[in-house]
Amino acid sequence: MEPLTWTGSLSGLNFIFYIVLLLLVLTIVAQLLFSLVPSGGARAVGADGTLADDQGVSGLINLVISWLFYAIIALVLIYLVGGIILGTGAGIFGGMARQMLPVWIALIITFAVSITYKRKLGLYGKLFDSTVGMIGFGIVMFWVFTGVMGGVFDMLITHDSLSQASGMKNKLPGTPLRGAEEGEYAWYLLGGDNLARDVFSRLIKGSWVVVLIAPLATLFAFMVGITLGLPAGYYSGRLDTILSFLANLILAFPVILLFYLLVTPEIVLTGIPNYMAAVLFVFPVIFFAVLLNSRYYTQPHIRTPLLVVVLGGLLWAYLSLITNDGFIVKNDDVTVYGIPAMIDWIPMPPEILVVFVSVVFVNSPTVFRIVRGLALDIKTRDYVAAAQTRGEGPWYIMLWEILPNARGPLIVDFCLRIGYTTILLGTLGFFGLGLESESPDWGSTINAGRRLLSLYPHAAIAPALSLLSLVLGLNLLADGLREESLRD
């Protein structure tokens, strides 16, 4: 079989695509240059008192840009739809487009439903009023669907992410699989890596690692940061001094040194990550206990059953999370028993646990500082004084008066921080820390691919671009959310 080209039978469009792209870039540059030179014509007054003209030459350029932009989108759509119809007939892009078909369908459904009901969906619905936010959300959801479908249900992948095929070592994208059997996918769409594994399938498998760990770790970091930051900001005084000192202490560590100290097999042996997990993961339980208790403690008939159910579930989850094979810590010196393996429903391999813990540990001081700052600001507001006069307890004020009013900046920071956590996970993989070397996650793949970078760049470039797009998507999403929440 012939190796696939990038666009296959749609190659005729490539020339048009390049031309349109070139024109778009040129007109954007021209537009930027023209925006520096004022010209005659009708002028609009900006919010800050500046004048901007929207007709004349720059108006024409704007028109051209928008048409070229639509043309680019149309061409990309043709490539996509053509790829879905023709499959590998439309080259590597076609093959990938068809392989990703379930993701496209899920994306279209998500967007259609969200846009239809956007007025009823609060801040999430407002996101669909901002183009930047929509683009960011689209990219993020693309990777979320890819991660879930490929990582959990094994749907999108073409080959097993660990199996090696003979003669496929470092092969270029689109190389046909040597001796492909019936029912086996006949190409390595994005080529083979230095161990002759399929880069495309590993990319999709790796997205699941990122999509699973990054948001969860960020969520835990937020729980820790909020539970400690609110009292630090609200009470101030000595508590604040001590907690801030500890936070600054962790922040003064270079992140990579901390990773090298925490995420090594030797440290895993001592059980330190398990103790840290036991401390850090208890914060969500405390958070929800205090949250519900402070709200309902005046109505014991609601409070007691509610707390029993919620805390029971959370404690079970907490114990399952930190227990592994019936033990919380097990080494030569110490053995701490956990819950029996039977009811341990969250499998947490030690190498994932240590990565998870260290990422939460690195992120929580920053969240603490943000929450503390917000609490310091908000506690001077009138509604807090009103609640104090009503005789509400301090935790009620912190969790039900201050926290909801700090949600805007916190949601934005949450999105940004997921991106940052993704970068941290990649850093860990890049230094070969934590996850096993055969793990398909993007950081480890980049690390494996960088040794042959100048000869066979495809094995490292594919995960690098994926990571870039996911973090960019999260940043754009955060930008869109910021814009929309400011408009409230």
Is 217 a binding residue for other proteins by CB under 8 A? The answer is no
Count of residues that interact with other proteins, criterion CB under 8 A: 57
What residues between 222 and 261 interact with other proteins by CB under 8 A?
245, 248-249, 251-257, 260-261
β-pair type (335-337, 327-330): antiparallel
Is 104 a binding residue for other proteins by CB under 8 A? The answer is no
- 43 vs 295 by CB, closer to other proteins: 43
For residues 141 and 127, give the distance between their C-alpha atoms in angstroms, rounded to a whole number. 13
User: What value, to the nearest 5°, has the Cα angle with vertex 218 and ends 216 and 222?
Assistant: 115
DSSP 185-221: --EETT-B-TTS-BHHHHHHHHHHHHHHHHHHHHHHH
Is 6 a binding residue for other proteins by CB under 8 A? The answer is no
| Overall residue count recorded for the chain in this entry | 488
In b/e form, how buried is each residue of 429-438, taking b as 16+ CB within 10 angstroms?
bbeebbbeee
Least distance to other proteins from the beta carbon of 333, Å?
A: 9
Least distance to other proteins from the beta carbon of 409, Å?
A: 14
CB of 359 closer than 8 Å to CB of 213: yes
Is 182 a binding residue for other proteins by CB under 8 A? The answer is no
Bridge partners, residue 198, by sequence: 192
Least distance to other proteins from the beta carbon of 456, Å?
A: 8
Q: Which of 475, 481, 482, 484 binds other proteins (CB under 8 A)?
A: 475
Identify residue 306 by its one-letter amino acid code: L
For residues 258 and 358, give the distance between their C-alpha atoms in angstroms, rounded to a whole number. 8
- 25 vs 123 by CB, closer to other proteins: 25
- 186 vs 246 by CB, closer to other proteins: 246
Is 31 a binding residue for other proteins by CB under 8 A? The answer is yes
- 83 vs 271 by CB, closer to other proteins: 271
Least distance to other proteins from the beta carbon of 129, Å?
A: 16
Q: Name the nearest CA neighbour of 363 among 268, 210, 259, 270.
A: 259
CA atoms within 13 A on the CB side of 237: 4
What residues between 406 and 445 interact with other proteins by CB under 8 A?
419, 423, 426-427, 430-431, 443
For residues 187 and 91, give the distance between their C-alpha atoms in angstroms, rounded to a whole number. 11
Give whole-number Cα distances, 442 to 151, 154, 207, 426, in Å: 13, 18, 7, 6
DSSP 163-183: ---TT-TTPPTTEEPTTPPTT
What residues between 447 and 466 interact with other proteins by CB under 8 A?
449-450, 453-455, 457, 460-461, 464-465
Q: x/- binding map, residues 60-99, to other proteins, per CB under 8 A?
A: --x-------------------------------------
CB of 197 closer than 8 Å to CB of 163: yes
- 399 vs 467 by CB, closer to other proteins: 467
Is 322 a binding residue for other proteins by CB under 8 A? The answer is no
Is 30 a binding residue for other proteins by CB under 8 A? The answer is no
- 60 vs 341 by CB, closer to other proteins: 60
For the record, the structure tokens of 272 come out as 């330190």
CB of 160 closer than 8 Å to CB of 133: no
328 φ, ψ (degrees, to nearest 5): -85, -50
Sign of torsion, CA 463 468 473 475? positive
Per CB under 8 A, which region of 148-156, 265-273, 319-327, 386-394 contacts other proteins?
265-273
Per CB under 8 A, which region of 67-75, 118-126, 181-189, 266-274 contacts other proteins?
266-274
- 226 vs 464 by CB, closer to other proteins: 464
Q: Which of 16, 25, 52, 343 binds other proteins (CB under 8 A)?
A: 52
- 139 vs 402 by CB, closer to other proteins: 139
Interface with other proteins (CB under 8 A)? 28, 31-32, 35-36, 46-50, 52, 62, 245, 248-249, 251-257, 260-262, 264, 266-267, 269-270, 272, 419, 423, 426-427, 430-431, 443, 446, 449-450, 453-455, 457, 460-461, 464-465, 467-468, 471-472, 474-476, 479
